[in-house]
C-alpha cells in the first residue's frame, strides 16, 4: 500500500495515467447519460467493437504504432458502424437490436481478420494491438495519456457548450425541430462525440468493455435524481471514481487488465445506487413501504377502537 | 477424414445450429441478449474449470448454460426493477464478462483457456482435438458437441414449434390461450446458451454472435414465412462458413473472423438485392408507382 501511495505521489507517468482515466470516466459518464436517455447506449457497444478494424487498418496502412493515427482509424470505422446501424434500421424491416448486433459482430470479425493479417505483416509482431481488446492502462505512456486527457477535456467542454440543445433534442425532438434547431447536425455531432469518447477509452478499457463505461455510471446516476444536469454530474463522478479505482486495482498485481476492474467498480456503484438511493432505491422503497404499512395498521386499529367505543355509547 | 473436411463440417454445423436458433432471436427482438450471453458464457466456462479442474466438454456445457440463463434472468430482473432494457443488458453482460476476465487472469492463466482463444476460437485445431464417446470411433470434440446441440435444438424446436411461433409473433394472444410464455422464453435462452457454448469452443464468442444474427437477418429480408426463414437461415449459415473458410485459407487469416466477414457481406448483398425487400427493388417499385 505504501508503495502504491509512493507511486501515485511521485511517479509522473502514474499521475498521468490516473488523470487520463479520471477524465475519461467523466467524459464517458457525461455522454453516457445522454445516450442512455436517447436509448442509444448499445450503439456505444457496437462503436467500440467496430473500432478494432479501424485500428488495424490504420496500422497496416501507415506501418507505425502512433496512437493518433490508430485512433483516427478507429474513429472512422466507429462512425461508419454507427451510420450502418441507423441506415439499416431506417431502410429495412430489421429492428434496432438485430442491426446493432449484426454490425457489431461483423465489424469485429473483420477486425480480427485484419489483426491476424497484422500479425503476419513484415514488422512481425502484433505491436501491442492486442492490448486494445481488453485495455492496458499501465502500457500508456506520457504522450498517449496527454492526448487522451486532452481529448477527454475537449469532449467535456463541447458537451457543456451544446448541453441546452442536446437536452431539448433528447426529451422532445419534435419541439427541437419546431424551434428551428439543426436536429440532423446535432444528432451527427452527438454521435461523433460518443464515438470519440469510445475511441479514446479503448486503450485504457478495451473495446469489449468500453460500453460499460458509457452505460453503468449513467444508469447508476439515474437513481439519484430526476434532473438531467444533476444526473450528468453524478454520472461523471461515478465514471471518474470507477476509472480511478480500476487503475489502482490493476496495478496491484502483475499483468492484471485495467478494463475489467473499472467495470467491476462501476457495477458495484450501480448496485449500491439501485439498492440504497434515496427515494428510488429498492431497499429505501421497501423500508418506506414497511413504515407506511405500520402506520396504516395503527390507523386502522385506532379507527376500530373508536368505532367500538361509539357502539358502547 | 481430411483436415479440411473436418473444419468445413464443424463450421457448417455451427452455421446450421446458430442460424436456426438465431431466427427466433431476431423475431423476438432479443438479439442483444444473444450478444450478452455469448460474452457471459466465458464466465460459465471459467467457473466450470475452477470447480471441476478439468476442461471436459460436459462441465463447460453445464456451466455455460447456467451462466447463460443467469444472464437472461438478471436482465429480466433489472428490467422489472424499472431499468430500460438495453441498459440492463449492457450492465449485466459487461459485469459478468469482466468478472470472467479477472478470474481467468487470476486462476486459470496457464491452461489453454486464454481470452484470445475464447474470442476468436480455434477452429484450426478442431480436427486434432479428438475424444471417444461410447461405441463411436474417435471424433473431434467440437464435432460431437455441435451435433449433440444441433439434435437437441432440432428436437426442442420441432416439439415446441407452434408455441415458439405464436409467442414470437403474438405474445399476448399466446398468454391468453394459456401458453407458458415465460417458460418458452427461458427455454429459448437455454438453447441459445448451449448453442453458444458448443460453437464458442470452435469458432469463438464474436463469431457466434455473427452466426446467430446475420443469417437470420438475411433470411428475414428474403421471405415472410417462418419455416422458409429457418431453412434459408441454415443454408446461408453453411454458405458463409464454407466461403469464409476458403477465403481465410487463401488469404491466410483468422478463419472465424473471415466467416463473420462473409456473413456480413451476404447480409449486405441481400440488403441491396433482395427481390422483395431489398433496397433496389424497393426503389424500382416506388418508381413504378410514380409512373402509374
> Which value, to the nearest 10 degrees, does the dihedral of the CA atoms of residues A58, A62, A65, A71 take?
-30
Please, which residues 96-115 of chain B have a Cβ atom closer than 8 Å to chain A? Answer: 97-99, 101-102, 105-106, 115
Would you say residue B130 has pLDDT above 90? no
Whether B105 contacts A134, CB under 8 Å: no
Question: Grid coordinates representing A251?
Answer: 496495478
Identify the closest residue of chain B to A33 by CA–CA distance: B87
Percent of chain B topping pLDDT 90: 22
Question: Grid coordinates representing B148?
Answer: 449433440
Cα–Cα distance for residue pair A242/A153, rounded to 1 Å: 17
* Local structure of A65: helix, strand or coil: coil
Mean pLDDT within A268-289: 88
b/e string for A15-45 if b means 16 or more Cβ within 10 A?
ebbbbbbbbbbbbbbbbbbbbbbbebbbbbb
SS3 letters for chain B? CCHHHHHHHHHHHHHHHHHHHHHHHHHCCCHHHHHHHHHHHHHHHHHHHHHHCCCCHHHHHHHHHHHHHHHHHHHHHHHHCCCCHHHHHHHHHHHHHHHHHHHHHHHCCCCCCCHHHHHHCCHHHHHHCEECCCCCCCEEHHHHHHHHHHHHHHHHHHHCHHHHHHHHHCHHHHHHCCCCHHHHHHHHHHHHHHHHHHHHHHHCHHHHHHHHHHHHHHHHCCCCCHHHHHHHHHHHHHHHHHHHHHHHHHHCCCHHHHHHHHHHHHHHHHHHHCCCCCHHHHHHHHHHHHHC
Provide the pLDDT confidence category of residue B57 given band limits of 50, 70 and 90. low
Whether A96 contacts A73, CB under 8 Å: no
**Angle at which helices B255-273 and B279-291 pack, to 10 degrees?**
10
Which tens digits make up the pLDDT trace of A128-187? 666 677 666 666 666 777 888 888 889 989 998 988 888 888 888 888 888 888 888 888
Pick B210's closest partner by Cβ from A99, A109, A116.
A109
Binary contact (B260, A106; C-beta < 8 A): yes
pLDDT confidence of residue A10:
61
Listed in sequence order, the residues at least 6 apart from A221 whose beta carbon sits closer than 8 Å to its beta carbon are A29, A33, A231, A232, A234, A235, A238, A273
Binary contact (A105, B91; C-beta < 8 A): no
Average pLDDT, chain A: 82
Listed in sequence order, the residues at least 6 apart from B119 whose beta carbon sits closer than 8 Å to its beta carbon are A112, A133, B204, B205, B206
pLDDT confidence of residue B214:
92
Q: Hunting for cell 427481390 — which residue is that? A: B275
Would you say residue B195 has pLDDT above 80? yes
Bin A253: left if φ > 0, else alpha if -120 < ψ < 50, else beta.
beta
b/e string for B268-285 if b means 16 or more Cβ within 10 A?
eebbeebeebbeeeeeee
Closest to A199 (Cα-Cα) out of A37, A311, A31, A10:
A31
Mean pLDDT within A216-231: 90
Whether B74 contacts B59, CB under 8 Å: no
Would you say residue B232 has pLDDT above 90? yes
Angstroms from A208 CA to nearest CA on chain B: 8
**CB-CB neighbors (< 8 A) of B120 in chain A:** 112
Please, which residues 109-148 of chain A have a Cβ atom closer than 8 Å to chain B? Answer: 109-117, 120, 130, 133-134
Question: Grid coordinates representing B269?
Answer: 448483398
Closest to A214 (Cα-Cα) out of A230, A197, A226, A200:
A197
Cα–Cα distance for residue pair B274/A149, rounded to 1 Å: 47
| Beta-bridge partner residues of B140 | B130
Please, which residues 39-58 of chain A have a Cβ atom closer than 8 Å to chain B? Answer: 39, 41-42, 45, 49
pLDDT confidence of residue B23:
92
Cβ contacts from A onto B, under 8 A: 184
* Local structure of A109: helix, strand or coil: helix
Binary contact (B257, A100; C-beta < 8 A): no
pLDDT confidence of residue A77:
93
Partner A contacted by B39 (CB < 8 A) = yes
Test the B interface: residue of A43, A77, A101, A120 with most B CBs within 10 Å: A101
Test the A interface: residue of B82, B94, B96 with most A CBs within 10 Å: B94
Which tens digits make up the pLDDT trace of B5-52? 888 888 899 899 999 999 999 998 888 888 888 888 888 888 888 888
* Local structure of A144: helix, strand or coil: helix
pLDDT confidence of residue A65:
73
The more confident residue out of A44 and B203 is A44
Pick A263's closest partner by Cβ from B83, B94, B119.
B94
Question: Grid coordinates representing B115?
Answer: 481470452
pLDDT confidence of residue B216:
92
- Least confident span in A143-157, B146-160, B215-229: A143-157
- Least confident span in A201-205, B182-186, B190-194: A201-205
Please, which residues 257-286 of chain A have a Cβ atom closer than 8 Å to chain B? Answer: 257, 259-261, 263-264, 267, 270, 274, 282
Binary contact (A261, B102; C-beta < 8 A): yes
**CB-CB neighbors (< 8 A) of B81 in chain A:** 274, 282
pLDDT confidence of residue A124:
46
Closest to A70 (Cα-Cα) out of A111, A17, A103:
A111
Would you say residue A1 has pLDDT above 60? no
* Secondary element (H or E) of residue A110: helix A96-120
Whether A94 contacts A101, CB under 8 Å: no
> Which value, to the nearest 10 degrees, does the dihedral of the CA atoms of residues A220, A71, A167, A285 take?
-10
Binary contact (B210, A208; C-beta < 8 A): no
Pick A109's closest partner by Cβ from B207, B217, B220.
B207
Helices and strands, number each (H, E), in chain A = 14, 0
Binary contact (B102, A256; C-beta < 8 A): yes
Provide the pLDDT confidence category of residue A16 given band limits of 50, 70 and 90. confident
Angstroms from A273 CA to nearest CA on chain B: 13
pLDDT confidence of residue A268:
93
Would you say residue A290 has pLDDT above 80? yes
Complex-level ipTM beyond the 0.85 threshold: yes
Query: Cα dist. B206→A103, A185, B23 in Å?
Result: 11, 33, 17
Binary contact (B263, A117; C-beta < 8 A): no
Average pLDDT, chain B: 84
Whether B223 contacts A82, CB under 8 Å: no
The more confident residue out of B279 and A76 is A76
Please, which residues 145-204 of chain A have a Cβ atom closer than 8 Å to chain B? Answer: none
The more confident residue out of A107 and A149 is A107
Amino acid at each position: 500500500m505504501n508503495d502504491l501511495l509512493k507511486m501515485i505521489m511521485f511517479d509522473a507517468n502514474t499521475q498521468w495515467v490516473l488523470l487520463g482515466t479520471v477524465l475519461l470516466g467523466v467524459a464517458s459518464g457525461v455522454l453516457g447519460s445522454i445516450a442512455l436517455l436517447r436509448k442509444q447506449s448499445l450503439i456505444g457497444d457496437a462503436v467500440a467493437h467496430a473500432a478494432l478494424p479501424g485500428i488495424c487498418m490504420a496500422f497496416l496502412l501507415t506501418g507505425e504504432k502512433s496512437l493518433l493515427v490508430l485512433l483516427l482509424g478507429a474513429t472512422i470505422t466507429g462512425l461508419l458502424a454507427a451510420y450502418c446501424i441507423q441506415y439499416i434500421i431506417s431502410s429495412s424491416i430489421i429492428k434496432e437490436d438485430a442491426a446493432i448486433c449484426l454490425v457489431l459482430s461483423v465489424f469485429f470479425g473483420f477486425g480480427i481478420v485484419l489483426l491476424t493479417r497484422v500479425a503476419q505483416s513484415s514488422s512481425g509482431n502484433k505491436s501491442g494491438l492486442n492490448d486494445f481488446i481488453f485495455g492496458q492502462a499501465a502500457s500508456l505512456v506520457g504522450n498517449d495519456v496527454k492526448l487522451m486527457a486532452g481529448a477527454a477535456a475537449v469532449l467535456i467542454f463541447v458537451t457543456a457548450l451544446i448541453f441546452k440543445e442536446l437536452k431539448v433534442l433528447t426529451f422532445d425532438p419534435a419541439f427541437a425541430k419546431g424551434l428551428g434547431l439543426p436536429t440532423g447536425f446535432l444528432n451527427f455531432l452527438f454521435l461523433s462525440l460518443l464515438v470519440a469518447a469510445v475511441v479514446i477509452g479503448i486503450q485504457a478499457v478495451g473495446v469489449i468493455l468500453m460500453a460499460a463505461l458509457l452505460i453503468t455510471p449513467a444508469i447508476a446516476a439515474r437513481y439519484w435524481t430526476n434532473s438531467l444536469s444533476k444526473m450528468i454530474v453524478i454520472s461523471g463522478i461515478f465514471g471518474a471514481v470507477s476509472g480511478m479505482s480500476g487503475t489502482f486495482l490493476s496495478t496491484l498485481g502483475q499483468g492484471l487488465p485495467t478494463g475489467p476492474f473499472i467495470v467491476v467498480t462501476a457495477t458495484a456503484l450501480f448496485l449500491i445506487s439501485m439498492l440504497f438511493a434515496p427515494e428510488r432505491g429498492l431497499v429505501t422503497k421497501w423500508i418506506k413501504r414497511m413504515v407506511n404499512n405500520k402506520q396504516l395498521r395503527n390507523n386502522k386499529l385506532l379507527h376500530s377502537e373508536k368505532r367500538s367505543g361509539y357502539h358502547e355509547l | 477424414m481430411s483436415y479440411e473436411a473436418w473444419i468445413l463440417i464443424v463450421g457448417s454445423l455451427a452455421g446450421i445450429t446458430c442460424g436456426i436458433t438465431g431466427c427466433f432471436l431476431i423475431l423476438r427482438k432479443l438479439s442483444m441478449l444473444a450478444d450478452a450471453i455469448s460474452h457471459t458464457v466465458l464466465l460459465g466456462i471459467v467457473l466450470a474449470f475452477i470447480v471441476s479442474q478439468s476442461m471436459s466438454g460436459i462441465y463447460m456445457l453445464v456451466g455455460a448454460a447456467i451462466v447463460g440463463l443467469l444472464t437472461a434472468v438478471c436482465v429480466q430482473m433489472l428490467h422489472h426493477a424499472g431499468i430500460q432494457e438495453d441498459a440492463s443488458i449492457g450492465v449485466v453482460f459487461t459485469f459478468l464478462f469482466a468478472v470472467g476476465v479477472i478470474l481467468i487472469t487470476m486462476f486459470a492463466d496457464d491452461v489453454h483457456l486464454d481470452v484470445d482463444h475464447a474470442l476468436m476460437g480455434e477452429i484450426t485445431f478442431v480436427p486434432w482435438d479428438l475424444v471417444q464417446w461410447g461405441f463411436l470411433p474417435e471424433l473431434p470434440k467440437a464435432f460431437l458437441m455441435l451435433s449433440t446441440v444441433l439434435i437437441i435444438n432440432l428436437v426442442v424446436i420441432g416439439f415446441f414449434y407452434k408455441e415458439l411461433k405464436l409467442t414470437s409473433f403474438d405474445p399476448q394472444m399466446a398468454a391468453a390461450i394459456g401458453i407458458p410464455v415465460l417458460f418458452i422464453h427461458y427455454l429459448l435462452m437455454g438453447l441459445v446458451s448451449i448453442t453458444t457454448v458448443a460453437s464458442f469452443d470452435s469458432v469463438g464468442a464474436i463469431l457466434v454472435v455473427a452466426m446467430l444474427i446475420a443469417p437470420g437477418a438475411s433470411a428475414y429480408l428474403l421471405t415472410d414465412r417462418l419455416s422458409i426463414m429457418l431453412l434459408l437461415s441454415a443454408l446461408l449459415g453453411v454458405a458463409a462458413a464454407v466461403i469464409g473458410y476458403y477465403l481465410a485459407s487463401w488469404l491466410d487469416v483468422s478463419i472465424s473472423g473471415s466467416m463473420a466477414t462473409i456473413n456480413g457481406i451476404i447480409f449486405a448483398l441481400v440488403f441491396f438485392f433482395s427481390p422483395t425487400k431489398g433496397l433496389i427493388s424497393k426503389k424500382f417499385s416506388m418508381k413504378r408507382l410514380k409512373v402509374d
